[in-house]
Amino acid sequence: MSQSSPKLYEFGAFRLDSADRVLRRGDEVIVLPPKVFDTLWMLVKEEGRVVSKSELMDAIWANAIVEESNLSQNIYMLRRALGVDERGRQFIETVPRRGYRFAVPVRLLDEVPNNGASDSQAFAATQSPPQPTSALAEKEIRPRSALRYALLAGSSVLILSSLFGLGFGVYHFISRRGENEKVAPIEQLRFQRLTDSGDVDQPTISPDGELLAYVRYEEEQGSVWIKQFATGGESQFLPPSRMGYRSLAFSPDGQYLYFRDQANHGVIYQKATFGGARKKVAENVWSGFSVSPDGRQLAFIRRDAARGAHSLILANIDGGAERELRTRRSPQGYGAGPPAWSPDGSKLVAISEQPALITVDVSTGEERELRTARWRAIQKALWKPNGRHLIFSARAINETTSQLWMLAYPDGDLRRLTNDLEGYFWISLSADGRKLVTRQQRMVMHVWLLPDGDAKKARQLTFSQRSFEGYNGLAWTPDGKIVFSAFANNVTDIYSMNPDGSDRVQLTANAGRDNIHPSVSNDGRHIVFNSNRTESAQIWRMDIDGRNQKQLTFAAGQKNDGQKDVAQYPALSPDGKEVYFIRRGAGPAAIWKVSIEGGTPVPVSRLTGAAAEGFLSISPDGKWLAYQHAPASQKPGEEITMIIGALPTDGAAEPKLFDLPARRSITQWSVDGASFDYAAGIFNSSSLWRQPIAGGEPKKLCDFPDRVFNLAWSRDRKNLVVSRGKQQGDALLITNLP
């Protein structure tokens, strides 16, 4: 598509430079594929005129035969990238049976020269038609003036050949100021994409660096494959399973692969790398695991929900003998990240719920917390072979996604390894420390409206690119507005909007703090929600318009061990006078309640050998509370499910338990309180089901082509709103590590 008379256009917070083919939001460059950029420029320069589909296709795909779905996909990607303007309007409007038009005012600025150099040229490679790799020159990106560091996804030297013939970029990194972080000497890092199907998880490299094992999601099943680095040949190692596999780990000699089968998720299995039957080597496992350097022991986390305890367990591979090395109490317990052995086998590095990195002496059980900056989350940590550095995946306090980091041990010199828009959660390292394999992950979700709960009538309401709308909260007001969570500026806040997506209003705003899980009163006066703006997560109340925010619960705990109670997942009683919530502290998690005006909370649940977790919802008649029921231990030999408990609100009787294949413990009650709805599914598809409280088989309501992360029915049960999308991942090889 040719572009004459290069110009600058402004609309909303955006500026489009047709000379350098760059779209900016303030100082941020919005990277668009070439044809998507062409679509936007075509609509913008027409300044409100309706452009027919045939006109767009003829201009964008000249001399090529393509389907109309290509144009629809471009429009979808643009709406996702642009979001809505300050008035809640979409930038691109669909005119039925005619085409599309740009729906917000466009201001034409002075014409720009087409041959002048500019800093936006650093992104030209992402906007221009594909070129031979050898023709691309290395480009340096200057730091963004509006942020403290540069997001550099997509800007790089393309490598001529990767491990399997797929090119990937070399990243340049900009130092960040403060937070005890120093510039890493990592200009030499090389990134090579090993897969590009989007359905890869748990990529794991063999100790000798010659094999890659990974989980592949195929439709409604997951299988394990092993690929040879030298030849690129691959073979299926484990057959398709409806639940898939997790926690892949090679033995130190590479002769065995250890794994967890989600159909029997509490068990660790061993299988010879080049064939043979699987063998059970550990049970009642609640986390990922690692194999000791001598290949004789496993380290993993075991949880006792009834005691609120997390224990670090060492188990012999050949004999099953176990040793409880260390125990912590929730909410200061161990996280689900696998403990990792030091190269000499004398220590483990584990991840606490806080989160923090903790080393544990294998002989004595003595702990030491490593001094680093604060983190929002830490997923996995590994030792480098020299024992003087740790590599881990973590999300910093003021960042959008989880990145890879290197930490000097024990002095704490912190270095950054990745710095881009995607997320990194899983890592695996070769024995010589020269090859690091990671999963590069992207999760996209938006809020959709389903009139009458009919998936065929679904309408997308939000289009932001990385806001995770609705993931941490969806609710309705009595007058038909949608209250939802959304991520922006590195925090999650609560918003409201009309059921057509218009009139979006931000209700909470606390810099650096998250506000999530809103629950709206039936009289439309109050919203209660969860916030961590004080020392710990607690329950807050605000007016329906966001004013008069008041804290209802307060942290309590033992001063000698630093533990603080947290309060989560609020649910308002039908009369709006009481707030039910889940309290976690020194003992097992339980359901409590507090007055809407505040005061002293009182316990509701008195569970035996179990805990109340996850989300909490109350039936419209106020008789039942639905929650995630966590038993004291894993049940061996059973397919992974989620136990939903239905407890009388007075706590006077034992809960009814429903063992369901729910993806998240999010439930929505029917009007009469006789049943509740939940979402189920394995990978990137979902179904909505209805479970009668009296028991019996659930009934399927509808299917979705993607994952449902949250759901909420309107008060009259005529409209369903869902947060839905996809989670994609591929294997990435990082070499030339510092």
Query: Who wins on pLDDT, 514 or 2?
Result: 514
Map out the domains of the chain with their CATH numbers: 7-130 (1.10.10.10), 605-717 (no CATH)
Question: Taking 70 as the threshold, does the pLDDT of residue 612 lie above it?
Answer: yes
- Whether 59 and 45 have beta carbons less than 8 Å apart is answered as no
Q: Which residues does 546 contact at the CB level (< 8 Å), separation at least 6?
A: 494, 505, 506, 507, 508, 527
Question: Taking 60 as the threshold, does the pLDDT of residue 526 lie above it?
Answer: yes
Of the ranges 228-232, 366-370, 447-451, 686-690, which one carries the lowest mean pLDDT score?
228-232
Question: Taking 90 as the threshold, does the pLDDT of residue 297 lie above it?
Answer: yes
Question: Taking 90 as the threshold, does the pLDDT of residue 79 lie above it?
Answer: no
Question: Taking 60 as the threshold, does the pLDDT of residue 115 lie above it?
Answer: no
Query: Who wins on pLDDT, 159 or 614?
Result: 614
Query: Who wins on pLDDT, 414 or 561?
Result: 414
Query: Who wins on pLDDT, 198 or 388?
Result: 388
Q: Band of the pLDDT at 31, cuts 50, 70, 90? A: confident
DSSP line for 70-125 = HHHHHHHHHHHHH-B-TTS-BSEEEETTTEEEE-S--EEEEE--SS---GGGGGHH
Four-residue CA torsion sign, 187, 192, 196, 200:
negative
Q: Band of the pLDDT at 544, cuts 50, 70, 90? A: very high
Does this model's pTM top 0.85? My answer is no
Question: Taking 80 as the threshold, does the pLDDT of residue 131 lie above it?
Answer: no
Q: Quote the CA–CA distance of 646 and 655 in Å, as a whole number.
A: 5
Query: Who wins on pLDDT, 391 or 151?
Result: 391
The pLDDT of 460-464, averaged and rounded, is 90
Q: Quote the CA–CA distance of 613 and 617 in Å, as a whole number.
A: 12
Q: Quote the CA–CA distance of 448 and 476 in Å, as a whole number.
A: 13
pLDDT in the model for residue 229: 87
pLDDT in the model for residue 620: 94
Q: Quote the CA–CA distance of 579 and 604 in Å, as a whole number.
A: 11
Q: Band of the pLDDT at 640, cuts 50, 70, 90? A: low
- Whether 439 and 200 have beta carbons less than 8 Å apart is answered as yes
Question: Taking 60 as the threshold, does the pLDDT of residue 7 lie above it?
Answer: yes
Q: Please tell me the total number of residues recorded for the chain in this structure.
A: 738
Q: Which residues does 716 contact at the CB level (< 8 Å), separation at least 6?
A: none
Question: Taking 90 as the threshold, does the pLDDT of residue 197 lie above it?
Answer: no
Helix (H) or strand (E) holding 53: helix 53-60
The pLDDT of 560-580, averaged and rounded, is 84
User: Average model confidence (pLDDT) for the chain?
Assistant: 82
Query: Who wins on pLDDT, 163 or 263?
Result: 263
Q: Cis omega (within 30 of 0) on the bond before 355?
A: yes
Percent of the chain exceeding pLDDT 90 equals 47
Instruction: Name the DSSP letter for residue 385.
Output: T
DSSP line for 603-644 = E----SSEEEEEEEEE-TTS-EEEEEEEESS--TT----EEE
Q: What angle do CA 599, 604, 609 make, to 5 degrees?
A: 135
pLDDT in the model for residue 738: 81
The pLDDT of 473-491, averaged and rounded, is 93
Mapped onto helix, strand or coil, the DSSP state of residue 736 is coil
Question: Taking 80 as the threshold, does the pLDDT of residue 294 lie above it?
Answer: yes
Question: Taking 70 as the threshold, does the pLDDT of residue 125 lie above it?
Answer: no
pLDDT tens-place string over residues 584-607: 876 678 899 999 999 999 999 988
pLDDT in the model for residue 2: 47
Name which of 547, 591, 546 is nearest 571 in CA terms: 591
Type of residue at 527: I
pLDDT in the model for residue 6: 62
pLDDT in the model for residue 219: 61
pLDDT tens-place string over residues 694-709: 999 999 999 998 889 9
The pLDDT of 87-115, averaged and rounded, is 76
Question: Taking 80 as the threshold, does the pLDDT of residue 730 lie above it?
Answer: yes
In this structure, the number of other CB atoms found within 10 A of the CB of residue 254 comes to 16
Q: Band of the pLDDT at 113, cuts 50, 70, 90? A: very low
Q: Quote the CA–CA distance of 728 and 706 in Å, as a whole number.
A: 11
Four-residue CA torsion sign, 726, 731, 736, 738:
positive
pLDDT in the model for residue 398: 73
Which of 170-179, 311-320, 359-368, 369-378 has the largest mean confidence? 359-368
Question: Taking 50 as the threshold, does the pLDDT of residue 231 lie above it?
Answer: yes
The pLDDT of 97-106, averaged and rounded, is 87
Of the ranges 71-85, 142-156, 165-179, 653-667, which one carries the lowest mean pLDDT score?
142-156
DSSP line for 677-700 = EEEE-SSS-EEEEEEETT-S--EE
Query: Who wins on pLDDT, 723 or 354?
Result: 723
Question: Taking 90 as the threshold, does the pLDDT of residue 506 lie above it?
Answer: yes
